[in-house]
Amino acid sequence: MHKSHTSGELRRDHIGQTVKLAGWVNRRRDHGGLIFIDLRDRWGVTQVVSDPESAAAAHELLNTVRNEFVLQVTGVVRERPEGQTNENLSTGEIELVATDVKILNASKTPPFEINEDSNVDEKVRLKYRYLDLRRERMRRNLVLRSEVTTYIRNYLANEGFIEVETPILFKTTPEGARDYLVPSRVHPGKFYALPQSPQQLKQMLMVAGVEKYFQIARCFRDEDQRGDRQPEFTQLDMEMSFVERDDVTQLLEDLMTNMIEEVCDKPIMQKPWPRITYADAMDRFGEDRPDLRFEMYLKDVTAICRDTGFKVFDGAPMVKGINAEGCGATYSRKQIDALTKFVQQHGAKGLAWLRIDEDGYKSSFAKFLSEEKIGEMVAALDGKPGDLLLFIADKAEVANDVLARLRKRFGVELGLADPNVLACCWVIDFPMFMWNEDETRWDPSHHLFTSPMPDSIPLLDTDPGAAVGSQYDMVINGYETAGGSIRIHNRALQEKVFKLIGLEDDVAQERFGHMLEAFEYGTPPHGGIAPGIDRLVMLLAGEPNIREVIAFPKSQQATDIMAGAPSVVEDHQLVELHVGILDEDE
């Protein structure tokens, strides 16, 4: 080893010992006759000091080093002089007096500061990701991520789970997201697909009698990027046999609660986690992934708004509102106009607003309504002087969606959503299907293998829209961080669901015949869930996007800026794969 200790571990106890450290020059402070080097490695920083008298050669060499040089320093641990300790440093009570210095490697001046948390263009950070990862923020995130996965592995191993790897080269499933395809060399014209998740494979493991499976699995979806979406991402994929919904949610809730309290100092807002039905979530939050860190519930005032004589309200299927408390006093007309623009961008026709003053109202719509109706609306939203009430009148989907976005916007803008708290909850009782207007058929609201709740099985024949699925989502601070369900384990039921979502028999057979057949060989009841590791670590780390918790993320256009992927390939490689490139100029 090039070092005997790390740069984070030397303390008073080591005083007098001769040790060897190796790491990077974090900072150099040259006093002429005396040079200080902050030597950094993954574990911390230790101050090295040159002694020009007893170690002239070492001093000379330290004269020539610069930031990010890689050094090996041999020296004696010494107590710092009276009044010279550094309380910001875990090693701040001691320093290493260099007796011998070796430059293990020099470094060019880095393109940005490694030793401070300065803002740097993402382009530059991603191009030099190996330098970006040296910085404290990224180092901390890498460590946190490792702690999360290590904790999960140990916990699940203790619970009797086994980790099984599943193929990366698998089969296309066109009913999901767009697949990444890999051409087959030995089968001209045929393609593997990278898995969007190991869904089918983990169910096959249940057929295989594994009973308790997990995997830290890489998943691939060829869709456009967002701050919380990358083309490849990581899930804790889990599946269990002989379980019901509450067994799965209980296990995951225990795992997550213990894990979070072990690796993260953010408190969990409520334990046990609230369980919210889909209907309740839509009613109070307008969405199925509510941010529970603050209230500002949506209030349905449709009934009040009937027969008002105001066309916008009378004609709308739904009128719903929120109370931005205190904003009546603080929001300017210009800010309200910005909110109007915001809701229009998301599909609402307009924003009806009402400011409550001490002596009356200021409003975009009050003049069209009776004093009495306005009083009822204000009462419904608990409005008081200084408040700003905002209403959307539209189809239920639009009113809910837009108000949910407004609510989340206020959560940030008004500082209602405490970034240091984790509000975890379960959303349950999802509808089994969502009506797809464009294709005039039912779409599964989770995926095609989700079982209906036992009571809902008869509804598949009579009223599919009313059927409740066994799906459960784990939501943290408004992010969907896991989704799972109890699966169908019966061929006839699976075929019925395929039929309902418009999968022709022969297509179902071609794509999922292996599963249907497997269900005929003693498949146990089973279910599972898959938390997204990237989002989870992002929330624990308090980062604004998942790129910050992925060592080598892709850009928004799905490229690797450091290596330059994707790239052109040699013609002979294409020939081997029986692949040609279309000329798309026309």
Instruction: Convert residues 442-461 into a mask of x (bound to RNA by CB under 7 A) and - (unbound).
Output: -xxxxxx-------------
Out of 3, 20, 171, 178, which residue is the one contacting RNA (CB under 7 A)? 178
Minimum CB separation of residue 178 from RNA in Å reads: 6
Please list the alpha-helical segments (H only) found in 265-332: 278-285, 311-314, 327-330
Contact range with RNA by CB under 7 A, out of 216-224, 276-284, 330-338, 457-465? 216-224
By the rule CB under 7 A, 326 interacts with RNA: no
Minimum CB separation of residue 500 from RNA in Å reads: 13
By the rule CB under 7 A, 549 interacts with RNA: no
Contact range with RNA by CB under 7 A, out of 4-12, 218-226, 271-279, 281-289? 218-226
Distance CA 48, CA 74 (A): 10
Q: 78 pairs with which residues across the strands?
A: 95
Distance CA 342, CA 435 (A): 27
Instruction: Convert residues 13-52 into a mask of x (bound to RNA by CB under 7 A) and - (unbound).
Output: --------------x-xxxxxx-x-x--------x-x--x
C-beta closer to RNA: residue 325 or 495: 495
The CA-based dihedral angle spanning residues 49, 54, 58, 61, taken in that order and rounded to the nearest 10 degrees: 100
Q: 3-class DSSP state for residue 585?
A: coil
Show contacts with RNA in window 103-142 (CB under 7 A): 109, 111-113, 116, 118-124, 126
Show contacts with RNA in window 224-243 (CB under 7 A): 224-227, 229
How many residues contact RNA, by CB under 7 A? 67
Angle made by CA atoms 463, 468, 471, in degrees to the nearest 5? 145
Minimum CB separation of residue 86 from RNA in Å reads: 3
CB 235, CB 197: distance < 8 Å = yes
C-beta closer to RNA: residue 129 or 355: 129
Out of 12, 53, 105, 581, which residue is the one contacting RNA (CB under 7 A)? 53
Instruction: Convert residues 374-413 into a mask of x (bound to RNA by CB under 7 A) and - (unbound).
Output: ----------------------------------------
CB 176, CB 157: distance < 8 Å = no
Contact range with RNA by CB under 7 A, out of 146-154, 173-181, 566-574, 575-583? 173-181
Reported for 55-64, long-range contacts at CB under 8 A and 24+ positions apart, including other chains, are: 55/97, 55/98, 55/99, 55/100, 57/100, 57/101, 58/98, 58/99, 58/100, 58/101, 59/35, 59/98, 61/101, 61/103, 62/28, 62/35, 62/37, 62/98, 62/101, 63/30, 63/35, 64/103
By the rule CB under 7 A, 197 interacts with RNA: yes
By the rule CB under 7 A, 557 interacts with RNA: yes
Q: Is 409 left (phi over 0), alpha (psi -120 to 50) or beta?
A: alpha
Tokens standing for residue 490: 């019966």
- For residue 566, whether the previous peptide bond is cis, meaning omega lies within 30 degrees of 0, is yes
Contact range with RNA by CB under 7 A, out of 16-24, 85-93, 329-337, 391-399? 85-93
Minimum CB separation of residue 88 from RNA in Å reads: 6
Rounded to the nearest angstrom, the gap between the alpha carbon of residue 140 and the centroid of all alpha carbons in its chain is 17
Interface residues with RNA (CB under 7 A)?
A: 27, 29-34, 36, 38, 47, 49, 52-53, 66-67, 80-81, 84-86, 88-89, 92, 95, 109, 111-113, 116, 118-124, 126, 173, 175-178, 196-197, 199, 221, 223-227, 229, 345-346, 443-448, 545, 547, 555-557, 559, 561
